[in-house]
């Protein structure tokens, strides 16, 4: 029996969503250049429909002084690879919500990154206990190619919902499509439902175009 036949007989890992393959390494994928990190001017902001109607911000040291957490979560790329069981260290999205509460009628957030990149999330997805603004993976600081100093990780969604080089969170009272959602990717991005592209959307999955 050849290697390919043996692989075909091996049971599929139940942690792999449909259409995904196991990835041993961590490929570098992103749109545009890698930004230059400037620690003296870097900040992390929360703005939009906050409960206080005020914007909050932290400088680099202030953000890294926030309460930290460690979560275990998989990483599912829409290009069909999945990394399983990574340990992500950083600041949980729930901590950001506690420190800067949204207004009661907020339903979505937009996560903003360098160069104007953006990704929209339902508030419930953002508030998930495993959603984290990661600074480390498996105990090691992120490299700049993988999003240093901060990237969002949302383990239960496709990875484009977790931008690298995050700079801000906007609270929103209505949904808007982010960078890849405007370019044909699914608005919700559930890997278990294979929500890859906007043509798969059902009524109510996203805002009108």
d(CA 152, CA 40): 22
pTM assigned to the model:
0.90
Q: How confident is the model over 39-61, as pLDDT tens digits? A: 999 999 999 999 999 999 999 99
Query: Which pLDDT score is estimated for 9?
Result: 33
Mean pLDDT confidence for 120-126: 98
Q: How confident is the model over 1-52, as pLDDT tens digits? A: 444 433 443 457 788 999 998 877 676 666 667 888 999 999 999 999 999 9
Helix (H) / strand (E) element for 109: namely strand 108-113
Pairing of strands 56-59, 118-122: unpaired
Of 43, 90, 46, 50, give the one whose Cα is nearest residue 66: 90
Q: Would you state the structure tokens that stand for residue 189, as one six-digit string?
A: 């991005």
d(CA 162, CA 154): 6
d(CA 129, CA 105): 21
Q: Which residue bears the tokens 């109510």?
A: 204
176: phi > 0 → left, psi -120 to 50 → alpha, else beta; which?
beta
The proportion of the chain whose per-residue pLDDT surpasses 90, expressed as a percent, equals 79
Q: How confident is the model over 55-88, as pLDDT tens digits? A: 999 999 999 999 999 999 999 999 998 989 899 9
Mean pLDDT confidence for 146-157: 95
Q: Would you state the structure tokens that stand for residue 140, as one six-digit string?
A: 């090691």
- Sequence-ordered alpha helix ranges (H) in the chain: 3-9, 60-64, 93-99, 123-126
What are the two backbone dihedrals, phi and then psi, of residue 10, each rounded to the nearest 5 degrees? -70, 140
User: What would the CATH number be for the domain defined by 39-200?
Assistant: 3.90.420.10
Query: Which pLDDT score is estimated for 208?
Result: 75
């Amino acid at each position: 029996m050849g290697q390919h036949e043996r692989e075909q007989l091996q049971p599929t890992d139940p942690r792999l969503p449909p259409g995904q393959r196991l990835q041993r390494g961590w490929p570098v994928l992103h749109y545009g250049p890698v930004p230059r990190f400037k620690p003296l001017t870097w900040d992390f902001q929360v703005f939009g429909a906050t409960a206080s109607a005020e914007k909050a911000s932290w400088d680099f040291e202030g953000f890294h002084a926030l309460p930290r957490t460690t979560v275990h979560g998989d990483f599912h790329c829409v290009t069909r690879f999945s990394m399983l069981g990574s340990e992500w260290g950083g600041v949980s999205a729930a901590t950001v919500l506690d420190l800067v509460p949204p207004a009661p009628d907020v339903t979505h957030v937009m996560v903003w990154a360098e160069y104007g990149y953006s990704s929209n999330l339902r508030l419930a997805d953002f508030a998930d206990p495993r959603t984290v603004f990661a600074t480390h993976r498996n105990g090691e600081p992120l490299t700049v190619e993988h999003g240093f100093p901060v990237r969002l990780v949302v383990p239960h969604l496709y990875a484009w919902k977790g931008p690298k080089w995050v700079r801000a969170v906007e609270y929103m009272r209505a949904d808007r499509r982010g960078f890849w959602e405007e370019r044909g990717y699914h608005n919700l991005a559930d890997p278990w439902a294979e929500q890859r592209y906007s043509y798969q959307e059902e009524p109510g999955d996203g805002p009108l175009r």
